[in-house]
Structure 1
Amino acid sequence: MEKMNFKNVIVGWGKGGKTLAKFLAERGESVAVIEASPKMYGGTCINIACIPSKYLIVRSERGMDFADAAAQKATFIAGLNHKNYHNLADEESVTVINGRARFVANHELEVTAGTDKVRVVAERLFINTGAKPVLPELLGLVGNPDVLTSTELLDLKEQPKKLAIIGAGYISLEFASMFVDYGSEVAVFDVREEFLAREDRDLADRVKSDLEARGVSFHAPVELQEIREKTLFYKQNDATHHFKFDKLLVATGRKANTENLGLENTSIQLNTRGEIIVNDILETTAAQVWAIGDVHGGAQFTYTSLDDFRILKNQLYGDKSRRLSDRGAVPTSVFIRPTLSSVGLNEQAAQALDKPYRLFKLATSAIVKANVLGEPQGLLKALVDPETDEILGAMIYASESHELINLLSLAIKAKIPYGMIRDQIFTHPTISEGLNDLFADANEVK
C-alpha cells in the first residue's frame, strides 16, 4: 500500500479547514486535504446548507417559481464547488485526496476510494469532518424515498405540494417559511410542547403566530407513530391522526460526524455526545491533533468554524493569545420572514442567572423602513447592565435583522455603552435607525 507523508493533513473540507489549508500552503508547507465526496468541496455551508438554502429562500420571497429557482441554485452551487476545489488543488503544496479516511494511529490514516487504498502520515493533523443529521427511530422512516433530510430536500427539482416537517427547530422553520412562500402546504410536527423553548415567550409567540398567519400549521406535542408510504401517523390529545404528504423533512438536529473515523485506534477522546474533546486552543487529547468546527461541538455555524481557523493560525504562528473562551457572544440568525436574530443574553437566560438588567423594547412597526418593506410585524428587545450601561444581549425579530445583529454583537464585544448607539446618526430610512428608538426608553430594572 502506498504511503504518503505530509507536514499537515486536514480531514474534511469545511470552512475552518479549507481556510487553514490555504494559509499553510501559502507558507510553503505541504498540506493534504482528504474529502470523502467531490460534492462537498468547500464544505457543508456552501454545498448543502447555508448558501443553497438562503439562495432558495431569497427567491421564494421574490415570487420565483420553485423549479426555476432550484435550477439556478444548482448552477450557482456547482460554480462555488468548482471554485473551492481549485482554490486548494491549484496550490503547488496542496494534495487533494478523494476518499474516506479512517485512523489507524494518532497520526496515520488509511484512505479508501473504491478498491484503492493509501496510507497518509501527518506531522500535524486537523479533524474537520463536520456534523450530520440525527434521525429519530420511527417505523417506516428509513429507506422511504419521500423522507428527506435537509441535504436531500435542497436537491429537489420539483416543489412538493404538501410538505410535512418533523421537528420545530430553526432549520425546520427556515424550510417551513420558504416552502409556504413557494405555495406549498406545510405542516410541522414536534414532540415538544414548548415552541422555541430557548427564546423569550413574547418573541416565540410572535414567530409562531406570524408563520401560522402565512399558512404553516403546527402540531405539538405529538407522539410520532409511523410512516406508511406518503402518510405520517401521529397521536395528539389521545387521538390518532394522519397527514398525507408529497415529501417529509426530518429536521431533528445534527450531531458530530465522528462515527467510522477509527478514533478507537487513537488516543483522541469523545464526550458523551460523540463530539471530539478539545481544550481552549482546539487541541484534542492526542498531541499535534486538533479538531475544527462542528465536530468538536458547540455552535454549529460556518462563521464559528472560521473563527476556529483564527485560533489555530494565532496559536501556530501568532502570539498565542486567541482562545475559545475569548470568543464571547456569538450572533445567530434564523432566516424566516422576517428574520429572527439574537446575540448574548435574552430575558429568560438573564433571569436564570439572576442577572439584573434594564429591558428595552420596540415594536418593529415603529420603524419606517419596516413599513416601507411591507413587513411591520416583529419586535426588538435589548438587555442592558444597569451598572455599566453595557449591552448584555439583543433579540431582533424584524426585516434585515441578520445585518443589524452584527452591529450589536460588535457593541457587546467592544463594551460600547448603549447610549452611544441611542445617539448614533444612522442613515434613513433603515432598520438600523430603529436602534435610536429602541434604546430611548427602558422598562424598570428587573
Structure 2
Amino acid sequence: MQRFDAIFIGAGQAGPSLAARMAERGMRVALIERKFLGGTCVNAGCMPTKALVASARAAYVSRGSAELGVKIAGAVSVDMQVVQRRAHRITMDARDGLGTWLGTMDGVTMIFGHARFEAADRVSVNGETLTAPQIFLNVGARPVIPDLAGIHSIDYLTSTSILKLDTLPRHLAVIGGSYIGLEFAQIYRRFGSQVTVIERGAQIASREDSDVSQAIQEILEIEGIDVRTGAESIAFARNGDGARISLNSAAIDASHVLVATGRAPNTDDLGLDLAGVAINARGYIVVDEKLATNVPGIWALGDCNGHGAFTHTSYNDFEIVAANLIDGEDRKLSSRIPAYALYIDPPLGRVGMTEREAASSGRNIHVSKRAMARVGRAKERDETLGFMKVIADADTGQILGAAILGIEGDEAIHGIINAMSAGTRYTDLQWSVPIHPTVSELIPTLLRGLG
C-alpha cells in the first residue's frame, strides 16, 4: 500500500492547482487521472470550442467586410481540416504544458488510470492500493444522452465528439437549446452549414429572462439558424448516412445530429458507496459550504459537486479549499456570486439574479435596460444587436444582477461583477467616468435608469 498525504482523483481545473499548493508545503500527493490532464476546459470545453468560435467569427466578419469598405476577391470558404487541427493544437499545447508543470514538481506523483474507492481513506488504481488522510475528487462531468425515441438508431454527435469533425455538415440539427448547443449552432452556421436548433422547452436559454432569450433567438435567426421551440415529441430514424427527425407534426432531414441536452457528473463508477460519500438524485456529490463531503477527509471540487459547471467556478473551488486548509482562512461557497457567459456572437455576460428571480424573491426591485445601439463602440463596428439590463434592490441600493447581451458583453460584465463582489451600491457607481469609446461607458447611464 502506497501512503500519501493527499490523493487527488481527477485533474480538472481545481485538482492540479491544489495539489501544487500542497506539494509546495512539502506534502506528498498523488494525482490520478483516467484520461487527459486539464479536464473539460482544456480537452472538450472552453479552449477548443472558443478556438472554433474564433474561426467562425473570422469567416463571418470576412463575408461582411464589404459593408465596412473592405473588398475580398471571391467567395469566403472554410477549410474544416485546418480549423479542426488548430483547435486540437490549442488543446494539446495546454494539456502538454500542464503535464510538464506537474511532472517536474517535487512531491507530486502522477498516475494515469481509473481510481475507485476501497474505503474512505483508500483507493485502488491499476491494481495498486493508495491511502491518504485527505482525498479530493475533481472528476468533472460528461454529456448525457436523453431517452428519445430512436436516438440510438442514428450516429449522433456530442459536444465532445463534434470536436473531431473535420468536414462541414450539410445540415446540422442541434438537439437542445441551451448554452453548449447554441454556441455550436452559430459556429457551424458561420462555417456554412444549414442549422436547425430543436428545443423541447418554450424558450431557448431557459435559465434567462424571456427578453434575453428572445433577443438571443433573434440574433441566431438573423444569421439563418432555424430555431424550433416547444418540440414536445421528438423521434429519430436513420436516413441514409444522416437522420430524419420527427417533431410535433414536422420532419427534418439532417446530415448530422448534435445532442446537447445536458451533462452528468462522472461519479457513477468511483465506488463512492464504499467510502460512504453521499450523492444527490442527479448523481452530484453533496458538499457543505467548504466543499467537504459528508465523510471527514473527503472533498469534492468542480463540476462533480453541482455548484457551477464552469472553469472559473472549479478554480474558485480550489481557492476556497486552499484558503481554508492551507492559509487558515474561513472562505465559504455561499460568498461566490454566480457569473457566466454564453459565447454566441455577440456574447451574453451574466451575473447574479435574473429579473425573474429577483421579482420572485419578494424584494422591491428596480430594473434598467438600454439597447446596445446606444453604445458608440457597437455603432462604430456595426454590431448593435442586444441590450444591457441591470436589477437592483430599491431599498438597499445593492445590485442584484445584470445581463449584457452584445458586443464584448462577456468583458463589460466584469465591472458589475466587481461592484457586486465589493458590495458597492449602484448609487455609488452612477457618476463614474468611464473611458470612451467602450462598451462599459454605457453602464453609468444604465445605472442612472434605476429608480
Mapping 1:258-269, distance limit 5 Å: 258-269=267-278
Aligned partner of residue 290 in structure 2, secondary structure: coil
What corresponds to 1:92 in structure 2?
A: 106
Aligned residue in 1 for 2:247: 235
Matched length: 430
Shift of 1:280: 1.2
Alignment correspondent of 1:170: 179
Moved over 4 A (4+): none
Contact 2:153 2:237 in 1 (8 A): no
Which of 134, 137, 141 aligns to 1:127? It is 137
Partner SS, residue 370 of structure 2: strand
Counterpart for residue 330 of structure 1: 338
Paired with 1:326 and 1:391, the residues of 2 have a C-alpha distance of 15
Shift of 1:143: 7.1
CA contact (8 A) 1:12 1:35 kept: yes
- How do 1:96-111 and structure 2 match up within 5 A? 96-111=110-125
1:217-253 CA distance string (max 9 Å, x none): 11222211223151132231xx2x3322222111111
Contact 1:331 1:406 in 2 (8 A): no
Alignment partner of 1:221 is 2:233: no
Question: For 2:52 and 2:299, how far apart are their aligned partners in 1?
Answer: 35
Q: 1:275 to 1:8 in 2, by over 3 A?
A: same
Question: Counterpart amino acid of 1:400?
Answer: E
Q: Equivalent residue of 1:47, what SS? A: helix
Contact 1:333/1:340, CA 8 A, preserved across alignment: yes
Q: Is the 8 A contact 1:42 1:84 kept in 2?
A: yes
TM normalised by structure 2 equals 0.92
In structure 1, the residue matched to 2:24 is: 26
Aligned with 2:404 (options 396, 409, 421): 396
Question: Residue 72 in 1 paired to residue 68 in 2?
Answer: no
Contact 2:341 2:410 in 1 (8 A): yes
CA contact (8 A) 2:245 2:254 kept: no
Hey, what's the Cα distance between the residues in 2 that align with 1:142 and 1:92? 47
Other structure's SS at 1:88 match: helix
Give the one of 426, 440, 445 matched to 1:432. Answer: 440
State how 1:21-420 maps to structure 2 within 5 Å: 21-37=19-35, 40-63=36-59, 65-112=79-126, 117-142=127-152, 144=154, 146-222=155-231, 223-229=233-239, 230-236=242-248, 239=249, 241-327=250-336, 329-420=337-428
| Whole-angstrom distance in 2 between the partners of 1:377 and 1:258 | 41
Quote the Cα distance in structure 2 between the aligned partners of 1:197 and 1:295: 22
Report Cα offsets for 1:315-340 as digits up to 9, x if no partner.
Answer: 1122331011222x221100011111
Identity of aligned residues (%): 33
Aligned-residue RMSD, C-alpha? 1.5
Q: Secondary structure at 1:103's aligned position in 2?
A: strand
8 Å contact kept, 2:173–2:196: yes
Q: SS at the partner of 2:307?
A: coil
CA contact (8 A) 2:156 2:256 kept: yes
Task: Report how far residue 274 of structure 1 moved.
Answer: 1.0
TM superposition shift of 1:139: 4.2
Secondary structure at 2:152's aligned position in 1? Answer: coil
Gaps of 5+ in 2: 60-77
The alpha carbon displacement at 1:314 in A equals 1.4
Preserved CA contact (<8 Å) 1:293 1:300: yes
Q: CA deviation at 1:417?
A: 2.1
- 1:97 is paired with a residue whose SS is strand
CA displacement at 1:193 relative to structure 2: 2.2
